[in-house]
Structures are given as structure tokens and as C-alpha cells.
Amino acid sequence: AAAATPPGARTVRAARGAERTAKSWGAEAAKRMLMNNLDPEVAEHPEDLVVYGGTGKAARSWEAYDAIVRTLDELEPDETLLVQSGKPVGVFRTHEWAPRVLIANSNLVGDWATWPEFRRLEELGLTMYGQMTAGSWIYIGTQGILQGTYETFAAVARSLDRASLAGTLTLTGGCGGMGGAQPLAVTMNDGAVLVVDVDESRLTRRVEHGYLDEYTADLDAAVARVVAAKAAGEALSVGVVGNAAEVFPELLRRGTPIDIVTDQTSAHDPLAYLPVGVAFEDWKAAASADPEGFTVRARESMAAHVAAMVGFQDAGAAVFDYGNSIRREAELGGFDRAFAFPGFVPAYIRPLFAEGKGPFRWVALSGDPEDIAKTDRAVAELFPEDAALHRWLDKAARQVHFEGLPARICWLGYQERHLAGLKFNEMVASGELSGPIVIGRDHLDSGSVASPYRETEAMADGSDAIADWPLLNALLNTASGASWVSLHHGGGVGIGRSIHAGQVTVADGTALAAEKIARVLTNDPGTGVMRHVDAGYERAKEVARERGLKVPML
């Protein structure tokens, strides 16, 4: 409703094409990517500057947004803009190799790093929750997590000794910005999936964007559809409107034949998880009227939700946490077996991290989908032996609907990413592509994050909570020539539970860009290999030796 629109809110869409209004492509790219994060096709709640992940924002306020855009347009090619939790706070003279933007979001000193203190400071207008790629301007819509989710479900199939998920039924919760990738990731693996979300508008959106086949408010009808699909070995995704804390226990009680269970509700923030007994329409008002009381209720519901997940595991299902800290919240809600099932990183992803592999992504600033088709072909040609990569690129080209600027996600590792980046830069220089390419990644990467309930859960040497690694990653990317670098706290799993860094580098076709790309896209995944060598992973040691990474004490 118009009356509810916050002051200053407007519809944002990034400019397309090869003409820029900023004085460098570094500044122009940062501006377009900030705008793209807030494009209504991309952001979950753009009117509130919320991009994804509960309340992950791109700028602190609409005033701050305007000031960032204005400053980026005026920024000289040898200046750097500093952004403090979504607000532009200073411009400094640096040099052409330096990032055009340096961003620090949501950071708090250890003893103060709690949600209540964060909210108190946010209320005072002093900070903002940046999630991972929301406040660092490299969110690319639901596709951003799709390949990771697709590969995770492929690994689940292998762990069940199956060639695919055909003939299995997956149950999950949360169909928001990231969770919305789950239904398509399961059907890309040929499985059947039921996804529960309290917000019907999120299910509608996923159907519109091709991530979900269908949805209903009728649980019996939804179950009948997915159980039939499982029996027929068909790929089908069905959404059901409901509260996961009620639906999961109900399906367990009924003995529904579910093989795989996970969840991606926004459990990392108890105010972004709807407790049983609070009506959907009353959610925001109830959370702001009594955040502490709401938190207690949300955690009680998460305890019931996770107890059902453990119940499915006891009954023989494959169950894993999908990176939203729901186990810890359920434990705080009084359920003491919450950690009975593993997180997805130690269960399925860590071997990839040991090779520096992670969610590498790129965006065509031209706005032309044909540019992404050309880069897809270039990447396939660069890595002719990588069957999994080819399978992904084929499926993505056919099944992924672009949200905002055309983009591609593709997990590549150490000594691979820079080859792709340099190739893209050549294609920009030769005119084969119709505009520059922005190259970045999620903060969920091999060397850029400390997060003991997610990326660094159960490290071999017990170094889960050591947060020097993401700081070193950010410093190195700054020193290597990235176009913008960010250092955040609290993404994915919530305040107090993670520290992580991001980098984005622009391929504008110049020789200088090639120099920067060669360094950043080698060094950035290199820190992932280094981190896993240090923790004692044999695969990381092999990769370091084979691919020439210098680790003084290896």
C-alpha cells in the first residue's frame, strides 16, 4: 500500500550498456551493482532496501543510497569511497590500483556482538545488517546460490548411492531469496521436493521466476502430488503455504515417505522466523513490539521444527543444516539434540573448499543475455575436461531465468578463476562482448569466512572460530587490485556468529584490468587453499604443491 511505502523509496534499476556516467568502470560497476541489488526483480523487499536473507540490506537508508550513487558518479579514478554499514562516510585519494570502494558492514566488538545490541544501534541509525552479498553489492538473485545447492543435492544423491535424486522426496522450509533455489536444485537433480513457506507471495514469486513448479495452501494435496512424483521417479517441486514448525512435525507424525530433509527459513535472525501462534499479518508488529518475547517464541518453534528434523533422521532420512544456524537457535529454544545432524559444509562442501573452489560469479553490465551465453561457451572451452562444470552450464543455460542484470554462477577453484577472468577481459577488449563484465563471488567461499556453524564447522584442527583468515583475505584482495572489497560480520548465521569478506573486480577490457584480474582471481581462492593447508587438509596440501602456492611452513 502506498501509505506503507517508506520515505524516499522508489523503483531502482541499473543502467545497461557500454556508456558510463561515472569516471571509471570501477565506480560505474559499483553503482550499477548497488542498483541491481535493489532492482525489484532481484531484491526480496526493495522498498525497505532489503535484498535477501531476512533483513540483509544494500544501503542504510534511502538518503544514504542517494549519497552513495552521487559520490560514485563524482569519484575520481584515483579515489576510494569508504562505506560504513551502508552509509558513505569518506572519500580518500589513493591510486588507480586501489579499490574504488571499501565497505565494512555490521561489525561489532566481541562482547557487544549480540542481536539485541545490534538492534539498539540500528535503531539509533548507526549500523545496518549487510548479510553477505546484500551490503557488498554482488547479489545476483536466487541463481547466486543455485549451483551450490544443485551440487549439494548431487552430493546427497551420491551419499545415498544413487545416480540422481529420481525416486526420492526432499522436504525443506523457506522459499525466499536463497531458499528459493532449493526446489529448482532438487528438480535439476531429477527429484521430488516439498517446500514450506509461511509467505504465499514468496511461493508465487518462485513460480513466476521458474524456480518452483507449483504451490498450494492445501497440505494434503501437496503431499499427494510429491508422493506420486516420487513413486513415478519424476522431477517435481511443490510449495505449500504453512509454518515449518507445524508442517514438519505433522509430516513426521503421518509417516510421509521423506528421504532428505533440510531447511532454509531465515532462522539466523529470530525476528525473521515466524513462530507458531503468530499470524503472518501480525509478524512485523509483534516482532517490533516485543523483540525479546518474540525471540523466545521463535526459538521454541525452531526447537519443534528441528526436533522433527532429528525425528526424520532417526527414521532413516538424510538430514542436514543448510547454513541458517537453525540448530543453535533450536538449542537455545530448549531442544538438546539439535546438533544431531551435520551442517552442509562439513557434510558435502569442504573437499571443494580445499581446492579453493567456491561460488565464482559474473555479471554482464551491458544487460545483454547474449554476453552471458558467450561467456558460458568460453568457460566450457577453457575447462574441456570438467564434466560437472559442463553439465551445470548446460542446465543453467536452459533452466535459469535471469533476475536483474544477466549473470552466471559457476564454482571454480585456485588457478582456474583467473583464466576465466582474463578470457572475459579479452572478450570485452575485442568487442566480442557488448560491455564490461563484473566478476565477484559470495562471501561463502573457501578462504573468506569464519563461521563455526557453517563454513568453518568442524575444521580438522579445531580452528572453527579463528577469524584472522577473512581479515587477511580482505587485506590481500585490497592489495591485489580488486575494484571493491568488503568486510562483514553476522552474515548467513546471524550476529555474533561469523566474520567474512568479499571482493569484486571489473573486466573493462583494459591492460590494467587484466593485471588486476590475474592477481585478484589467483590470490583470492589461493587464501582458501592456504587456510585449508593450515588446518591440515591433505587435498589442500596436494593442490598447493601441484599448483605452486607458496606456503612457508608446508
**Contact set with ligand NAD (CB under 6 A):** 44, 52-54, 145, 148, 173-179, 196-199, 202, 243-245, 264-268, 272-274, 322-324, 444, 492
Q: Quote the least distance from Cβ 165 to ligand NAD, whole Å.
A: 18
Of 43 and 72, the one with the shorter C-beta distance to ligand NAD is: 43
Residues in the chain: 554
Of 196 and 229, the one with the shorter C-beta distance to ligand NAD is: 196
Q: Quote the least distance from Cβ 214 to ligand NAD, whole Å.
A: 17
Residue 67, annotated ligand binder? no
Residue 131, annotated ligand binder? yes
Of 55 and 85, the one with the shorter C-beta distance to ligand NAD is: 55
**Catalytic residue at 410?**
yes
Residue 190, annotated ligand binder? no
Q: Let me know: does 433 contact 374? Beta carbons within 8 Å.
A: yes
Q: Quote the least distance from Cβ 95 to ligand NAD, whole Å.
A: 34
Of 48 and 386, the one with the shorter C-beta distance to ligand NAD is: 48
Written as nine digits, the cell of 132 is: 553477505
Query: Whole-angstrom distance between the N-terminal and C-terminal Cα of the chain?
Result: 61
Q: Quote the least distance from Cβ 92 to ligand NAD, whole Å.
A: 32
Residue 64, annotated ligand binder? no
Written as nine digits, the cell of 126 is: 548507526
Position closest to ligand NAD via CB: 176
Q: What share of the chain is helix, strand, coil (3-state, %, to 5)?
A: 45, 15, 40
Sign of the Cα torsion 181, 83, 475, 470 reads negative
Residue 348, annotated ligand binder? no
Concatenated DSSP letters of 169-203: EEEEE--STTTTHHHHHHHHTT-EEEEEES-HHHH
Concatenated DSSP letters of 212-277: -SEEES-HHHHHHHHHHHHHHT--EEEEEES-HHHHHHHHHHHT----EE---SSTTSGGGSPPTT
Nearest-angstrom CA–CA distance, 454 and 471 = 18
DSSP 8-state assignment for residue 417 = H
Of 509 and 528, the one with the shorter C-beta distance to ligand NAD is: 528
Q: Let me know: does 539 contact 529? Beta carbons within 8 Å.
A: no
Q: Quote the least distance from Cβ 154 to ligand NAD, whole Å.
A: 15
Q: Quote the least distance from Cβ 277 to ligand NAD, whole Å.
A: 11
Q: Quote the least distance from Cβ 439 to ligand NAD, whole Å.
A: 20
Residue 265, annotated ligand binder? yes
Nearest-angstrom CA–CA distance, 474 and 504 = 11
Residue 490, annotated ligand binder? no
Catalytic-labelled residue, pool 317, 410, 517, 521: 410
Written as nine digits, the cell of 227 is: 508422493
Residue 202, annotated ligand binder? yes
Of 152 and 366, the one with the shorter C-beta distance to ligand NAD is: 152
DSSP run (H or E) holding 301: helix 291-314
Amino acid residing at 130: G
Of 221 and 231, the one with the shorter C-beta distance to ligand NAD is: 221
Residue 313, annotated ligand binder? no
Cα separations (Å) of 287 from 123, 268, 294, 463? 14, 15, 6, 35
> φ, ψ for residue 204 (rounded to 5)?
-60, -45
For the packed helices 115-123 and 291-314, what is the interaxial angle rounded to 10 degrees?
140
Catalytic residues: 410
- Can you say which residues are annotated as belonging to the binding site for NAD(+)? 53-54, 131, 177-179, 197, 202, 243-244, 264-268, 273-274, 322, 492
- Can you say which residues are annotated as belonging to the binding site? 53-54, 131, 177-179, 197, 202, 243-244, 264-268, 273-274, 322, 492
